[in-house]
Amino acid sequence: MSAEPDHSIDIQIETRYLPEQSDPEDDRYVFAYTITITNNGTLSARLVSRHWIILDGADNRQEVHGEGVVGQQPHLEPGEVFRYTSGTVLQTPVGSMHGSYRMLREDGECFDAQIPAFTLATPNSLH
């Protein structure tokens, strides 16, 4: 499989800590992340499933597999953007996430669009 399909999907991530939903005394740190997916390819593609690897600061690992994102399987035409916000809960103030989206192009080819690793951190926990 050529590398071209991976490069046709651009993924940008923004994160934020949600102190109002967190309880540090109970080792509960809640984070939101907003993902922007852009189809920079020449063919339309549907996001059919997701695979996340979530690590907290104590190296506890969660894996999440599921259909679509936020209850949808967005279909992106060339140049189209899809943005969604979701969240996760960690037991430590710092962690990270990465993974992939399984994409199905209009020509029937499936490929994995890699989601780059990103850090989840409470304010002032990283220097």
Could you give the domains of the chain? 4-120 (2.60.40.1470)
> What does the pLDDT read at residue 124?
84
With beta carbons less than 8 A apart as the criterion, state whether 91 and 29 touch: yes
CA–CA separation, 83 vs 57, rounded Å? 27
**Strands, E, within the chain: which ranges?**
9-17, 29-39, 45-56, 61-67, 75-76, 81-90, 94-105, 110-121
Query: What phi and psi, each to the nearest 5 degrees, are found at residue 35?
Result: -110, 130
What is the residue-level pLDDT of the chain in tens, covering all 127 positions? 444 444 599 999 999 999 999 999 999 999 999 999 999 999 999 999 999 999 999 999 999 999 999 999 999 999 999 999 999 999 999 999 999 999 999 999 999 999 999 999 999 887 5
